[in-house]
A = this chain, B = another copy of it.
Amino acid sequence: MAKKYTTRAEDYSKWYNELVARADLAEHSDVKGCMIIKPYGYAIWENMRDVLDVKFKETGHSNAYFPIFIPKRLFEAEEKNAEGFAKECAVVTHYRLKADPNQKGKLMVDPEAKLEEELIVRPTSEAIIWNTYKRWIQSYRDLPILINQWANVVRWEMRTRIFLRTAEFLWQEGHTAHATKEEAIEETERMCDVYADFAENYMAVPVIKGLKSPSERFAGAEETYCIEAMMQDGKALQAGTSHFLGQNFAQAFDVKFADAEGKLEYVWATSWGVSTRLMGALIMTHSDDDGMIVPPRLAPLQVVAVPIYKTEEELKAITEKFDQLSKELAAKGISFKFDDDDNRRPGWKFAEYEAKGIPVRLAMGPRDLENGNVEVARRDNKTKEVIPFEGVADVIEGLMEEIQQNIYDRAVKFREEHTHVVDSYDEFKLRLEAEGGFYLAHWDGTEETEEKIKEETKATIRCIPLERDEEEGVCMVTGKPSKGRVIFAKAY
């Protein structure tokens, strides 16, 4: 009998952890808080990265690479940024090991190889990059600089969860430099749009674009744009952020440019990033109790076929059919695998591909063969249909779009059902505790009120939506005036 897995209803958190293992996505390593991304998980991440990389290049960005280490004196230059990350920095202090004289075959850190200045393993690269931009920027002709970096970063988190919060994670970080404030803000908004477009049209994850409240801003930013998604437990997940950094880093690193009149001005900056955290968003938006559901546009494997047979002749005939289909699907750019591994039974394979969320699964047995049919099973809604084999490639092509759309629509519907407009703090507290979800409520705009709500309910302001009705109202907590509703939710 198959292993019994925890359902979402039983224990959402446990279900998530089991799913990550079951779909063979990733696992914990022996390094505290660091994960190992397994081949299947990494293949999904690669697809995400490749789509984003094209979008970054289409919007004029180039990739580059900056050092993983940041000398302490550079790291501390922008004070707010340094303060924001200081508590979670991995620090390199030595550059050599030597044989331990007291333990044969063991090594020890060589005390004589102590660095004069400690190196911080980058938690984010503004400092090292702006220290470099100082050399690159003299005149307005050197601007804009539009650079992106794909890299690993380290933030020493105490409580980690695979993909959602790990000490080391993979990400991309864009760092741009501009001559004017307007241009920098335009860039910040453009990249927020790129992220939203990617989330919705590739990940099939609906998101709300908005601004962070001051207390939730990136350390060192003047304004943080974000995209917020709702997970199936009603909690919010910040899926990407784009920061308008003002002239903070230019001032900290003394980066000025001569404008057309020769006047020296500080450079305007943005930075923006998404990370392997998106894998967590993907999992928690779509998956069900049987495993993952991967959107067709990001699926490393889109279609799998399983033969059901008793005799070698049957297998041969089925193989021929799928060989032909394989070519037709390849011509349509649809990835396909024929799984004729005879060490595994069809039922085992069905469960395995279901766990991994392969969008379409085909099966063919002797009777299908006789009738010229094939069974087509959709992962998203678990429907199965026996249809003529002739023309199945076209059917599959249609299904790719249909499944992509269906899981997106389902997620939108879920979010709508779990988004509530509230005006009373008591109602807010009651419903949040009972149902989770997003709450559109008036807020007086002060940090004090935000903090009070957080302490009393664990909910935070996820964002001030970019698209919202300007609606006069009063703060649900203090009764002070408010110009529009913001989104409160518990968050990952």
Contacts and interface: CB of A to CB of B under 8 A. Distances in A.
Nearest to A40: B62
A264 interface: no
A90 B62 CA distance: 30
A141 interface: yes
A65 B42 CA distance: 7
Interface in A141-191: 141, 147, 151-152, 154, 156, 168, 170
A67 B109 contact: no
Contact of A67 (B29, B38, B86, B141): B29
A91 B89 contact: no
Nearest to A50: B50
A74 B97 CA distance: 14
Contact of A38 (B31, B39, B64, B95): B64
Contacts of A328: none
B29 A76 contact: no
A70 B74 CA distance: 26
Contacts of A34: 67-69
A92 B91 contact: yes
B91 A93 contact: yes
Interface stretch (A113-121, A313-321, A465-473): A113-121
Contact of A68 (B67, B76, B152): B152
A35 to B, nearest CB: 7
Contact of A30 (B74, B79, B83, B152): B74
Contact of A168 (B69, B105, B132): B69
A121 B147 contact: no
A86 B216 CA distance: 42
Given A34-B68, A36-B132, A46-B63, 4 more contacts: A34-B69, A35-B67, A76-B107, A97-B120
Interface of A: 27, 29-31, 34-39, 42-43, 46, 62-72, 74-76, 79, 82-83, 86-99, 105-107, 109, 118-121, 128, 131-132, 135, 141, 147, 151-152, 154, 156, 168, 170, 343
